[in-house]
Amino acid sequence: MIVTFSDSGWINGSIFVHYLHHFISFVRPTKEDPVLIVLDNHESHISLGAYQLFREHNLHVLSLKPHVSHKMQPQDLTVFSSIKNAYNRQCELYKVNNPGKRITQYEVGEL
């Protein structure tokens, strides 16, 4: 697992490239066994560094149109909603076990 964050709190191109390196090291796509990555067309996904990694490591990219409905974004329903629900449960447990303490960027990775 990797945990990183930007000063603004939002993903950016360098964080996405860092994530791609991590992804590639675990998935290990090859020419014979390429991997499809479905992206949401966020600006952080569009960089020369990301493009080079896609090409060098046999990553095929499907970029969904921006601002399409949730029906066009399967990861919103299948992956992100599950992660969001689990994260929110952990936040509630944290608040119960640490009354009055705020959740900062340093607790997010553990939660």
CA distance 5 to 44: 13
- Cα–Cα distance between 71 and 46 in angstroms, integer? 23
13 or 41: whose pLDDT is higher?
13
Determine the distance from the C-alpha atom of residue 27 to the mean position of all C-alpha atoms in its chain, rounded to a whole number: 15
What is the average per-residue pLDDT within 67-91? 78
35 pairs with which residues across the strands?
Answer: 59
State the pTM of this model. 0.61
Helices (H) and strands (E) in the chain, counts: 5, 2
Work out the pLDDT band at 7, boundaries 50, 70, 90: confident
- Residues 6+ positions from 39 with CB-CB distance below 8 Å: 45, 61, 62, 63, 64
Sign of torsion over alpha carbons 74, 2, 50, 14:
positive
CA distances from 81 to 7, 18, 39, 56, 87 (A): 25, 24, 16, 31, 10
